[in-house]
Amino acid sequence: MTMDMELLQRYDAPVPRYTSYPTAPHFHAGIDAEVYRDWLAEIPAGERMSLYLHVPFCTRMCWYCGCHTKVVRQYQPVGDYAAVLDREIALTAGAVPKGREVSHVHWGGGTPTMLSPDDFSALMSALRERFDFAEDAEVAVEIDPRTLTREKAAAMAGAGVTRASLGVQDFNDIVQQAINRVQPFEMSAEVIDWLRGAGIEAINFDLMYGLPHQTVELVLHSVDLAVKLAPDRLALFGYAHVPWMKKHQQMIDESTLPGAAERLHQAEAAAGRLAEHGYRRIGLDHFARAEDSLTRALDEGRLRRNFQGYTDDQATALLGFGASAIGSLAQGYVQNAVPFGAYADAIKSGRLAVTRGVEVDADDRLRRAVIERLMCDLSVDLSAVGADLGAPPDGFAGELSALAPMARDGLVELDGSRVRITETGQPLMRTVCAVFDRYLGTGKGRHSRAV
């Protein structure tokens, strides 16, 4: 059963993407570098850690961009930034007790491939020198094909990169011009050859729907072309038009943006086409081959959601490096200073650069677990999660009442304490999760619409 327009209009409210709970608009300045240092010292022995490194530079601004990044024309600021990252790696590693293994590294941005091969390799060496790496650690890098070279691909492979995630979005020239990101299919194909030739076998693609001038046909054409390059995983993100937060999005002519119904058709058509090509749907917006580790994690109830989207990484501590990078620890979330200058000044003076965050309490942990299971499994047993986290058995009576109209409309099924999002309700999964968000509507943050 597919969703009709009346239902979509009724439920398509602005809601968070739930890559964390509480979400980033609720971070505050009460969590600073000193708090972060204490939290790092308390990472329990035997815990696995995940590292995220943010490179906030690009050669050119894509008009749809929602990331913390800055356009630079010369290498010097990037090289200077690499030196600060190196210092931050040393400072952070010094605050973490020995014996905690790194299981996952993720380079994001911005554009990590702005780093020179030498700087990238040196930073990977610094990470390996300062932290203990698990033998099976995954090292993933987000790639802008326009800035990759054969030499960089070889350097990344030599530094132990195991997964490359390519930003593609759409292969149509008119769409690419409207988003200021011209990147022909042949360029992506060549980059894939370089990466695979260098030994980086695991390939992800990012595609988007809801971009200017996109139609169902164009989205399907991009899906078909992407599949020709045989990625292991694809992410299909809906363009979030938030020009009040991201000023460069004002460069997009709003009259060329597809409306809500068209966006839904694009998303559903692309999901259907990916299924025909043999990709399983994972959560909100990811797709993976049956044999992929993400699909196995889904089948085994081990799928997780974090700031990078969906992951099979089970690490309980995520340490962020770089301007604006977010980390997650058992005690709560932390975020580094967003302006490059403030971030660099802190690190150069020997301080960690965290300037805000939020501590999580027992109620946050419970709601976070419920939201994560819904975002990953589309199903949650509220009593079971509550029992795991020591909550009263009838703790979600109000939320179950709030879900009753959605159950009547076929978006969810309620069976005792179990909530299951139906196929019809899948595009509105964030709206279902929002029922469990006690901060929503407290006045902080504006979000994109659910579909």
Establish if 62 lies at the interface with ligand SF4 (CB under 6 A).
Answer: yes
Nearer to ligand SF4, 11 or 63 (CB): 63
Site membership for ligand SF4, residue 402 (CB under 6 A):
no
Which residue, 78 or 102, is less far from ligand SF4 as judged by CB? Answer: 78
Nearer to ligand SF4, 249 or 426 (CB): 249
Residues 79-118 that bind ligand SF4 (CB under 6 A): 109-111
Give the residue, chosen from 7, 24, 43, 58, that forms a contact with ligand SF4 under the rule CB under 6 A: 58
State the nearest-atom distance from the C-beta of 325 to ligand SF4, in Å.
14
Compare residues 103 and 111 and give the one whose CB is closer to ligand SF4: 111
Residue 144 as a binder of ligand SF4 (CB under 6 A): the answer is yes
Vertex 179, ends 174 and 183: CA angle to 5°? Answer: 70
69 binds ligand SF4 (CB under 6 A): yes
The distance of closest approach from Cβ of residue 230 to ligand SF4 in the complex, given in angstroms and rounded to an integer, is 23
Site membership for ligand SF4, residue 257 (CB under 6 A): no
CB of 374 to ligand SF4, least distance (A): 28
Among 14, 19, 35, 67, binds ligand SF4 (CB under 6 A): 67
Scanning 59-67, 96-104, 122-130, 261-269 for contacts with ligand SF4 by CB under 6 A, the matching segment is: 59-67
Structure tokens at 430: 């964030």
Cβ atoms of 4 and 425 within 8 Å: the answer is no
Toward ligand SF4, which CB reaches closer, 174 or 384? 174
The stretch near ligand SF4 (CB under 6 A) out of 19-27, 34-42, 57-65, 438-446 is 57-65
Q: Taking the alpha carbons of 225, 239, 275, 213 in that order, is the dihedral positive or negative?
A: negative
CA dist 349 and 339 (Å) reads 16
Rounded to 5 degrees, what angle do the CA atoms 282, 307, 67 make? 110
Q: Which stretch binds ligand SF4 (CB under 6 A): 62-70, 119-127, 295-303, 391-399?
A: 62-70
- 251 binds ligand SF4 per the rule CB under 6 A: no
If one asks whether residue 295 binds ligand SF4 (CB under 6 A), the answer comes out as: no
Edge-to-edge strand order for the sheet containing 418-421? 379-381, 418-421, 412-415
Q: Is residue 120 within 8 Å of residue 78, measured between CB atoms?
A: no
3-class secondary structure for the chain? CCCCHHHHHHHCCECCCCCCCCCHHHCECCCCHHHHHHHHHCCCCCCEEEEEEEECEECCCCCCCCCCCEECCCCHHHHHHHHHHHHHHHHHHHHCCCCCEEEEEEEEECCHHHCCHHHHHHHHHHHHHHCEEEEEEEEEEEECCCCCCHHHHHHHHHCCCCEEEEEEECCCHHHHHHCCCCCCHHHHHHHHHHHHHHCCCEEEEEEEECCCCCCHHHHHHHHHHHHHCCCCEEEEEECCCCCCCCHHHHHCCHHHCCCHHHHHHHHHHHHHHHHHCCEEEECCCEEEECCCHHHHHHHCCCCEEECCEEECCCCCEEEEECCCCEEEECCEEEEECCCHHHHHHHHHCCCCCEEEEEECCHHHHHHHHHHHHHHHHCEEEHHHHHHHCCCCCCCCHHHHHHHHHHHHCCCEEEECCEEEECCCCHHHHHHHHHCCCCCCCCCCCCCCECC
The answer to whether residue 167 forms part of the interface with ligand SF4 (CB under 6 A) is: yes
65 binds ligand SF4 (CB under 6 A): yes
Q: Which is closer to ligand SF4, CB of 169 or CB of 422?
A: 169
Q: Between 69 and 417, whose beta carbon lies closer to ligand SF4?
A: 69
Smaller CB separation from ligand SF4, 23 or 111? 111
Stretch that binds ligand SF4, among 61-69, 83-91, 118-126, 252-260 (CB under 6 A): 61-69
Query: Taking the complex as a whole, how short is the minimal distance between the CB of residue 182 and ligand SF4, in angstroms?
Result: 12
Min CB(175)–ligand SF4 separation in Å: 14
Nearer to ligand SF4, 166 or 202 (CB): 166
| Beta carbon nearer to ligand SF4, 251 or 342 | 251
210 binds ligand SF4 (CB under 6 A): no
Q: With respect to ligand SF4, which residue has the nearer C-beta, 109 or 395? A: 109
Residue 356 Cβ vs ligand SF4, minimum distance, rounded to whole Å: 22
The stretch near ligand SF4 (CB under 6 A) out of 22-30, 64-72, 231-239, 257-265 is: 64-72
How far is residue 399's CA from residue 446's CA, in Å, rounded to a whole number? 22
- Binding residues for ligand SF4, per CB under 6 A? 58, 61-62, 65, 67, 69, 109-111, 144, 167
